[in-house]
Amino acid sequence: MPRQNPALHRNEKVPMTPGRRRLLIAGVILLVAALGWGVSVILEPAFRHTIVITTGADNGIYRGFADRYAPILKRDGITLDIRRSSGSSENYQRLKDPDSEYEVGFIQSGTTSPQETDHLQTIAAVSYEPIWVFYRGESTINRLAQLRGKKVSIGIPGSGLLNVSQVLLGYSGITRDNTTLLEMDAAKAYQALENGQVDAAFFIGRPDAPMQTTLLNSNLKLMSFAQADALVQKFPSLSKVIFPRAATSVVNDLPQADVTLLAATALLVSKDTLHPALAYLLLDAAKTVHGGEDYFTPLGVFPNLNTEEFPLSGESERYFKTGRPFLQRYLPFWLASFIERRLLILLPFMALLLGLLQALPRMAEARIKKRLIVWYREIKALEDEIWKNRHPTPDQIARWRDEIEHIDAHANQIKMPQRYFHDVYALKQAIGVVRDRISRVAGEQ
């Protein structure tokens, strides 16, 4: 392989082989591809405009919440894709599946056994879900143990009500061995009560929900939990709430006394991969829907973070301390999200660019100095050879003279900025020193 510069025969670098060149090109391509993939991962959430939520039965409390969230989110260009389910347990199973399309859902407190590997987080606790036990008969029932031996509807598979009712009955010694426990949805349980096919039934939902309104205005009796405090101690996911006298009808004085109920808490839960900007929008919707007064809580109690079922979302903790991020407070969601995502990308690149701008002058200077260094190395190698040869032959001296003249000729052709002229003349001085050394050696022969 021919040399690039015969005058640099002592220090000339071996040209890059085709194999090394191909390896370098492949490395650059892989680096660019990895950078492109990273940028696409960062940018992708900013362009999503749909949240898939798993709720409950079509006429249930969770579906009602989602239906109220949807128009609020729509203002910011976000579509809430509402999917029905059998209830809390099915929602949990859907959300903990990392490959499922479900991102957000409602889960009833006390109905699951969360694991760290679920990768779920609580956006907020949004509402109490009172548990109602309606029954038939002349006698008054205020303890679940009084249902032993009767026919009791306890909810349907996949619902949070089924899990909670079985736990509560279990505390009172009620099992499938001593009591007929039937799995029915709310509508069938109500009809079975009216027809005398069951003696009691568990229901869950707000007092103003259609089913609860029907039940409260019927001739069925509503159980007041006399042991509510003890049951809450055993089952901390539940709360004790009071349904006040005449809350159903002041005119008819229904109910005719305060009723003590147990209530689960509805939790808005998401996968921990949910985009932070979407979490803030959901929190705004939850605050609008759940922030008012209701039968059991004063203004502003919900939404809150008073739950330990799942880890709390970092966005939720920041939201309840300081509100939405600065940009989202004053800009449309799409614009705030656009800017935030670009800043996330641009800031590291700006830092890198600043570093490069600071390094470029030094790199340029080093590159310029390198043009001189290769010649200094050549001169030094030649001088070392001269010192080692105490008695050179005439042919060696002639070759040394040719080399130093070649070096001098090429040094004169080096193009340098004016401010580096003193370095060029320093090189020429070094060439002169070696040339003199060769002359003295020749004179000694």
The region, left, alpha or beta by phi > 0 then psi within -120 to 50, assigned to residue 196 is left
- Structural domain boundaries of the chain? 6-10+343-443, 48-324
* pLDDT per position as a tens digit, 31-54: 777 766 665 555 554 556 899 999
pLDDT at 7: 54
Q: Which of 45, 52, 78 is nearest to 285 (CA)?
A: 78
* pLDDT per position as a tens digit, 104-130: 999 999 888 888 889 999 999 999 999
What mean pLDDT is predicted for residues 364-386? 80
Asked whether residue 58 carries a pLDDT value surpassing 60, the answer given is yes
Spell out the residues 6+ positions from residue 281 whose beta carbon is closer than 8 angstroms to its own. Answer: 73, 76, 78, 333
Domain 48-324, what fold?
Answer: D-Maltodextrin-Binding Protein; domain 2 (3.40.190)
Spell out the residues 6+ positions from residue 375 whose beta carbon is closer than 8 angstroms to its own. Answer: 8, 407, 410, 411, 414, 427
pLDDT at 311: 94
Omega before 298 within 30 of 0, i.e. cis: no
pLDDT at 14: 47
pLDDT at 351: 74
pLDDT at 347: 67
> What DSSP element (H or E) covers 82?
strand 79-83
Distance CA 285, CA 306 (A): 18
> What does the chain come to in residues?
445
Question: Residues of the chain with pLDDT > 70: what percent?
Answer: 85
Backbone φ and ψ for 425, nearest 5 degrees, come out as: -70, -30
Q: Which of 18, 90, 4, 2 is nearest to 53 (CA)?
A: 90
CB 76 within 8 A of CB 281: yes
* pLDDT per position as a tens digit, 284-337: 999 999 998 877 888 889 999 999 899 999 889 988 988 776 666 666 655 555
Q: Which of 297, 289, 252 is nearest to 130 (CA)?
A: 297
Distance CA 196, CA 192 (A): 6
Distance CA 43, CA 72 (A): 24
